[in-house]
Amino acid sequence: MKLVVDANIPAAERCFGHFGKLIRVPGREINAAHLQDADALIVRSITQVNDQLLADSPVRFVGTCTIGTDHIDQAALAQRDIAFASAPGCNAEAVVDYVLSGLLTLAERDGWVLSERTVGIVGAGNVGSRLQARLTAMGVATLACDPPKAAVERAEEEPEQGFHSLGALIERCDVLCLHTPLTREGPHATYQLLNAQRIDELAPGSVVLNAGRGDCVDGLALRSRLAGKGDISAILDVWEEEPDIDAGLRDLVSLATPHIAGHSLDGKLRGTWMIEQALARYCGQSSDLTFADICPPPALASLHLQHALPPEDALRLCMRAVYDVRRDHDALQRQTLNYGMRKGFDDCRANYPLRREFATLNVQLSGEAVALEGMLRGAGFVVTLAK
């Protein structure tokens, strides 16, 4: 069996080497010629898998080690009778880490307190539902919008989860977080979901965070609001026209990162492992490889807090011990200025530094710091009370 695998997929040899011969190719460079004698294709989000790529290839299995699937033409795969697997939820925890790091960084910079804000979550899937659960556990008020889920609940007469309209979130929330897939058609299309009209309706002081898909936000309208009134803030990890993103918008948002919200080592490895399991099932094989087999221990395993800190200061201390979003913002600025937008953007992703998830850090509390237990646990850390 010959497998063409994105060069940036970690642990590929460990996970896929037992299936056959691996050919590693940078994801954006994979083309039809690479697949002429390949049996399987394993990608991440930057490879567009469509009929043109698969033309005249013998590929029988396609796997993407990502939550998102809008880069995969599943209709073309079905027409060619090609099996497909994705990795739903693999990096959802990492994206939530990114959101919390971004919001707490912006709160510190601009002088507001996250626990005093109401956060609107657009899209209650793998990421959005986890974000809402963590924020709620931290004592932060939330509202969620997910029309497709709300419609399913109504049709199946399930208990309603209290979903709200996007208009209600814009009216009632201080922070708007987008975590939707990209859909261009249908009653719940998300293409330019946050369009010029809705961006204009945002109250002064609002924060927009997009870690879903770049095309869900009208970038030109957002840039106009930021450059004109300048009375809202934005955190963007995803962009229209990646990797040729709008330099003007990049310079106006508070935190600009190169589509790395889910790029924790844990999330990437989890995605690789999930596709290994799917390929084994497709091949009719059993696999005894576990996630623990490929996931190394963290460099920083524990942190001990002994004295009381203001709650959000304690959160920032623990978060930055694991992940600091400012590093990724600075890297995008530096690399795109030094090497140009396309090369700089891709370089940030291809050479992304090691990053772990909040759950890999055990925060030990003693003395007055014990009062922080609920909030830190809610934020996603493992918390123990030191004797």
Find the farthest-apart pair of alpha carbons in the chain and give their distance in angstroms, rounded.
67
Q: Cα separation of 155 and 110, whole Å?
A: 44
Nearest to 367 by CA among 348, 343, 340, 386: 386
Spatial contact of 322 and 357, defined as CB atoms under 8 Å apart: yes
Helix (H) or strand (E) holding 290: none
Q: Cα separation of 323 and 158, whole Å?
A: 38
Q: Cα separation of 209 and 202, whole Å?
A: 13
Cis peptide before 243 (omega within 30 of 0): yes
Nearest to 381 by CA among 320, 325, 319: 319
The CA–CA distances, whole Å, from 286 to 172, 291, 292 equal 51, 15, 17
Q: Residue 37 is encoded by which pair of tokens?
A: 């004698």
Q: Which amino acid is at 9?
A: I
Q: Tell whether 45 is in a known binding site.
A: yes
Q: Residue 378 is encoded by which pair of tokens?
A: 């809610």
Beta bridge partner(s), residue 42 = 5, 63
**Catalytic: which of 240, 242, 276, 357?**
242
Q: Cα separation of 146 and 294, whole Å?
A: 35
**Catalytic: which of 134, 164, 213, 329?**
213
**Catalytic: which of 259, 263, 270, 316?**
259
Q: What is the DSSP string of 103-133?
A: HHHHHHHHT--GGGSEEEEE--SHHHHHHHH
Active site includes 259? yes
Active site includes 213? yes
Residue 144, SS3 per DSSP: strand
Q: How many CB atoms lie within 10 A of CB 299?
A: 9
Q: Which amino acid is at 331?
A: A
Q: Tell whether 180 is in a known binding site.
A: yes
Q: Tell whether 68 is in a known binding site.
A: no
Helices (H) and strands (E) in the chain, counts: 16, 14
Q: Tell whether 254 is in a known binding site.
A: no
Residues of the binding site for NAD(+): 146, 180, 237, 262
Active site residues: 213, 242, 259
Residues of the binding site: 45, 66, 146, 180, 237, 262
Residues of the binding site for substrate: 45, 66
